[in-house]
Structure 1
Amino acid sequence: MEIASILICIFLFLSTLFSYYLIQRQKRNSMHKAKLPPGSMGWPYIGETLQMYSMDPNIFFATKQKRYGDVFKTHILGCPCVMLASPEATKFVLVTHAHLFKPTYPKSKEKLIGPSALFFHQGDYHISLRKLIQNSLSPNPNTIQKLVPGIEALVISALDSWAEGRKVINTYHEMKKFSFDVGFLAIFGQLDETYREKLKENYCIVDKGYNSFPTKIPGTAYQKALLARKRLGEILSQIICERKEKKTMQNDLLGHLLNFQDENGQTLTEDQISDNIIGVLFAAQDTTASALTWVLKYLHDNPKILEAVEAEQKTTYEANDVCKKTLSWAQIKNMPLTYRVILESLRMASIISFTFREAVVDLEYKGYLIPKGWKVMPLFRNIHHSPEFFSDPQNFDPSRFEVGPKPNTFMPFGKGVHACPGNELAKLEMLSLVHHLVTKFRWEVVGSQSGIQYGPFPIPQHGLPARFWKESNQSQTQLGGH
């Protein structure tokens, strides 16, 4: 009986081994038959980078899609890439097969933000940390709902400064300052002014060097940014030590990071906390500032929509003015037209035009081979501007969001496990700013009102120079300088 059992075990083992061999051979044969997607790889090494930057990048990608279809290859920024321009492909990469694609960033940028920042990772560390950050920035009474009065105060302060003397301002630059202050509030709550100024000063140096050529030659923007990043770490270490000594339980992001423990009881190191604070500041500032700048431009360019938004906000404003109350969370959640304007602005501008992933194995999609190590780029903007999913896509029409868009066709905050965890905070600051802007102020765009520049996010030409002023009580003229 023992011999028979041993023979049966050997037979089962050999059968399993043979089946595995057949499956692997079938997969290899399938991969061998699969071919690379159509497209051009351009010149050796530089690929098609020059072509992409010599024209509007959106035209570059749209032209490629028109010629080759929704899946095509190219070579940009020193990397062979597969571009994907369909909702199904985006879902494949970012949702259903996300484990086969890792987020990828240049090492030079990792050094400036910090290698432990959330968006450089995947797996257990990423899942735990993303959940923590998302919970700390989610709309519940203990988190961002508590930030409403503080954000409203920042909005009023910013608008008052813009309107002072009716001077022309760079709207985008001012929006960056405002978004930075909101990020500070969400991360630290109330922070000592000395720390605030030191952090601001050094972060601005890092920000300037982030998209510069990564060289360590003394005096270059990148080298200055590296030194400033080191100083940021030292300042944050002091803040963390003080918070630990006080042992105060605070519901800001820093408090959540300090109180974090994984399933094994492990806490985050100071470096991990610092890297993620810098990462949140980076993610919260440029994209939100760009989105707000576009909201103002689209409202300015569409006076009838602006008038309708003013009418919606006027009801809330008058109710609060009579009772001398500030905005409430319930009021912010009840701004349907304004919210649709923001969604349409995000679709039109497509601040995040695409995202980078890297294939961790050879794999096949739609009969095409995606080799291991190649960059894979879902093209959000191509999808957002496709007439197949959004009728008359170049027309600014907030009413299109009265009905929810088709699945995987609208991704202003990304998609899947790496979607932006702070999107609710971004919506809160945008709605609050629009409310106070249209009920108390007027503005006009100065100079050319067309053109887009990339730095790297798309913004209106020259940062949308504009002049703001407070509306007098007697004036009932139409908004936006029209």
Structure 2
Amino acid sequence: MINYFEILFYIYIFLLSIFSYYFCFKNDKSSSQKKAYKLPPGSMGWPYIGETLQLYSQDPNVFFVNRQRRYGEIFKTKILGYPCVMLASPEAARFVLGNQANLFKPTYPKSKENLIGQSALFFHQGDYHIHLRKLVQASLNPESIRNQIPHVEELAIYALNSWAGGHVVNTYHEMKKYSFEVGILAIFGRLEGHVKDELKKNYSIVDKGYNSFPTNLPGSPYRKALRARKRLGKILSEIITERKEKKLLERKEKKLLEKGLLSCFLNSKDEKGMVVNEDQIADNIIGVLFAAQDTTASVLTWILKYLHDNPKLLESVKAEQKVICKSNEQENHGLTWTQTRNMPITNKVVLETLRLASIISFTFREAVADVEYKGYLIPKGWKVMPLFRNIHHNPEIFPDPQKFDPSRFENAPKPNTFMPFGSGVHACPGNELAKLEILIMTHHLVTKFRWEVVGSGSGIQYGPFPVPVGGLAARFWAGSTTST
């Protein structure tokens, strides 16, 4: 929903566009050389703001699908002041993210970089990116996260118990709390309660501003987010200083060092002996939290809804998980890594949820040189956006795409047709952790709890990730039965 400050921003931009029209017109004339190379079809919208209003004021699916129908699988537009080329085919995704990835660097709008941090993994390529990516992967690879299963289980059970009792909860908001706790665990390991609370409070403000229109007017969500981002930097700096001192003490006493992403950053050196500085560490910690929380919470919320809406499928998932639960009760232990790798029915439910919900609708890249693709010019400096959602919902790839059908994943999808975590060298490095926390939560949800959705549960809202309207209001009770 567009708030008061966003409306003021639109008025401001409209007035600005009137004064800048002559400049824009002149600039368009000077770009005749680019026009000669045949830009993709499409509309650039209003001067400066382009089609931002159309994208932000409606279901983004409508925006993307309507333009694909009108212009084809490659079209141009302008969003947040940036000229963009949008691509909606598996071949184009492979071209941008795989075969010719060197021609497209990872990028985000400047307003979003300001909130995550200039040094974040998402905004770089080359040696710096490779070094950071290795560090993140080292802390989030299967060998590292398998040891976190008991702790993630504890967080899942605690969350579910807090919802039980029949009171109405906002499922998405509660899943965000759970995902945030898992993210904190993966980054810091143990963290004192008051420090965690301060992180959570300021991160929440940044999160709201990140998903708002980037106006820096007094009182706007974006301006509040910029201030909260500075406070986050100070909090993280204090944690880093404390961990450095603790690391020196542990080395002297020959104790086992704290595990987690922060530990990997503090212990790292590249081939030239360079370490990751505090600002870089802070930027990447915030980046990982952003990548981990909203997306995973959205997936979990949709899983709960899809299982609720498909009782027979829910019974199949319950039967699969109860076999595991019974075995663990007899042997008196929790979930194991091997068990999480052997949940075929549940895993297909997760994959189909990732496809149908398509939490990540697209990704940002930027052309580092003029690139020709299928007879069209993608000019240097333009944003390039492979549209994952359009590919996932293409009926030629996935028949009856709006139907929730996990059986379609009994066979692996064709290459570049299913990209829930992105693709190529910049694919999400935390995808294994996300899958693990989803499977753990689903296991305990269906074996130990029952729930009902309040109201129709129909409709989708975007903020920007798609979630059921109202965050899916639901009631939970301890004790699983044969039906919801």
3-state SS in 2 of match to 1:80:
strand
How far has the Cα of 1:360 moved from its partner? 1.6
Partner residue in 1 for 2:329: 321
Unaligned runs of 5+ in 2: 1-32, 251-256
Q: Aligned letter for 1:246?
A: K
**Counterparts of 2:427 and 2:357, CA distance in 1:** 18
**Counterparts of 2:83 and 2:67, CA distance in 1:** 15
**Counterpart pick for 2:134 among 131, 134, 152:** 131
How far has the Cα of 1:244 moved from its partner? 1.3
CA deviation map 1:245-297 (0-9, x unaligned): 12242331111011111110100101111111111111110111111111111
Once the two structures are superposed, the pairs formed by residues 251-290 of structure 1 within 5 Å of their partners are 251-290=259-298
**Counterparts of 1:315 and 1:198, CA distance in 2:** 41
Partner residue in 2 for 1:426: 434
The answer to whether residue 482 in structure 2 is matched with residue 477 in structure 1 is: yes
Partner residue in 2 for 1:348: 356
Distance 1:305 1:90, change over 3 A: same
CA deviation map 1:167-192 (0-9, x unaligned): 10000000100000000000111112
Distance 1:353 1:166, change over 3 A: same
Partner residue in 2 for 1:84: 87
Confirm or deny: 8 A CA contact 1:94 1:416 kept in the other structure. yes
Distance 1:273 1:215, change over 3 A: same
How far has the Cα of 1:47 moved from its partner? 2.8
Tell me the TM-score normalized by structure 1. 0.89
Partner residue in 1 for 2:189: 189
3-state SS in 2 of match to 1:166:
coil
CA deviation map 1:406-460 (0-9, x unaligned): 0000000011121100000000000000000000100111012211100011111
Q: Aligned letter for 2:354?
A: L
Partner residue in 1 for 2:155: 154
**Counterpart pick for 2:38 among 35, 38, 61:** 35
3-state SS in 1 of match to 2:142:
coil
Q: Aligned letter for 2:195?
A: Y
3-state SS in 1 of match to 2:418:
coil
Q: Aligned letter for 1:381?
A: R
CA deviation map 1:133-165 (0-9, x unaligned): 01210101xx101100000000000000011x3
Confirm or deny: 8 A CA contact 1:31 1:363 kept in the other structure. no
How far has the Cα of 1:113 moved from its partner? 1.4
**Counterparts of 1:154 and 1:42, CA distance in 2:** 47
**Counterparts of 1:225 and 1:80, CA distance in 2:** 26
Partner residue in 2 for 1:114: 117
Tell me the TM-score normalized by structure 2. 0.88
**Counterpart pick for 2:401 among 393, 402, 409:** 393
**Counterparts of 1:327 and 1:95, CA distance in 2:** 36
The answer to whether residue 67 in structure 2 is matched with residue 59 in structure 1 is: no
- What RMSD over aligned residues (CA atoms) do the two structures have, in Å? 1.7
Confirm or deny: 8 A CA contact 1:166 1:467 kept in the other structure. yes
CA deviation map 1:187-238 (0-9, x unaligned): 1111122211221122112222223344444443333222222222222122
The answer to whether residue 53 in structure 2 is matched with residue 45 in structure 1 is: no
Distance 1:51 1:203, change over 3 A: closer
Partner residue in 2 for 1:223: 223
3-state SS in 2 of match to 1:348:
helix
Distance 1:170 1:368, change over 3 A: same
**Counterpart pick for 1:454 among 448, 459, 462:** 462
Percent identical among aligned pairs is: 71
Which structure is larger by alpha-carbon Rg, 1 or 2?
1
Confirm or deny: 8 A CA contact 1:31 1:364 kept in the other structure. no
**Counterparts of 1:43 and 1:113, CA distance in 2:** 28
3-state SS in 1 of match to 2:437:
helix
Partner residue in 2 for 1:240: 240
Unaligned runs of 5+ in 1: 1-29
How far has the Cα of 1:31 moved from its partner? 8.0
Confirm or deny: 8 A CA contact 1:351 1:458 kept in the other structure. yes
**Counterparts of 2:226 and 2:40, CA distance in 1:** 39
Aligned residues: 444
**Counterparts of 1:171 and 1:331, CA distance in 2:** 26
**Counterparts of 2:214 and 2:83, CA distance in 1:** 21
How far has the Cα of 1:39 moved from its partner? 2.1
Q: Which deviates further from its counterpart, 107-116 or 216-225?
A: 216-225
**Counterparts of 2:142 and 2:368, CA distance in 1:** 35
